[in-house]
Amino acid sequence: MNWLCEFMTSSIGKKLEVALFGFFLCMFLVVHLGGNLFLWAPAVGGDPGHWFNLYANTLESQFFITFAELGLAAVFLVHIAVTLWVQWENWKARPIGYTTTAWAGGRTISSASTIYTGVILLIFLIVHVRAMRFEERFGGQLYSHVLHELTGTPAAVFYLVCMAALGLHLSHGVQAAARTFGIDHPKFTPIIEKLGLAFAIVMAGSFGAIAVWGGWFAGGKP
């Protein structure tokens, strides 16, 4: 097992860990967005939150949900911890920053800001989990709780800023993960870059649209 520990703590191993756990988090985002889209499902019997509450309550009643949440938390923590570890080693190896612009030499705004967007997303994660998981949810009516948390300009703006950070983070992360997995070819790299950008726009735009709807149009009323 020593060889495995040595590999996982090597530069290549840590990059693979970041990419792999980042991939799992992207899959979670897709599933999470799919569940959130029930917020816009048609009303049933005058209850606009029927389908979303049914989805949320059904999910929470499953025996595996606690284990899934713990596993997801572990994935988040490993991704964050290893990313910070890699960044710290990069800073130690290069204590003086680049004298050229962030986008010179193939760098982009999204790649140069990865660590900062990651910090924003960590703050968002703490706020979001506390609000949606550990606060009173109006007797299982999660739809009402979501609208309550999103209502108003400050909440909506906070979510939109965080979703913009998510878009920047994803646009670089998908491309970086592809290179880490060895998918780097003149023919395929431009396609991957476009797909990564499209994925980032869809995820950030969709979650941002929910924030706009909940903050300014739904009015916080079920």
For 27-73, the pLDDT digits (tens) are 999 999 999 999 999 989 888 999 999 999 999 889 899 899 999 99
Domain definitions of the chain by residue range: 2-217
User: In this predicted structure, what is the pLDDT of residue 137?
Assistant: 62
Distances (CA, A) of 53 to 14, 35, 47, 104: 40, 10, 10, 48
| Secondary structure of residue 44 in the 3-state scheme | strand
pLDDT tens digit sequence for 158-211: 999 999 999 999 998 888 888 888 877 777 788 888 999 999 999 999 999 999
Residue percentage of the chain with pLDDT more than 90: 38
Phi, psi of 47 (to 5 degrees): -110, 105
Q: What is the mean pLDDT of the chain?
A: 84
12 token code pair:
């290549």
Q: How confident is the model at residue 95 (pLDDT cuts 50, 70, 90)?
A: low
Q: What is the DSSP letter of 47?
A: B
Position with higher pLDDT, 139 vs 193: 193
Task: Please give the average per-residue pLDDT across 111-123, as a whole number.
Answer: 89
User: In this predicted structure, what is the pLDDT of residue 187?
Assistant: 78
Distance CA 105, CA 108 (A): 9
Task: Please give the average per-residue pLDDT across 103-112, as a whole number.
Answer: 65
b/e code 109-134 from CB counts within 10 Å (16+ = b): ebbbbbeebbebbeebeeeeeebeee
Q: Pick one of 3.40.50, 1.20.1300, 3.20.20, 1.10.3470 as the CATH number of 2-217.
A: 1.20.1300
CA 136 and chain centroid, separation: 24
Contacts with 199 (C-beta within 8 Å, 6 or more apart), sequence order: 26, 170, 174
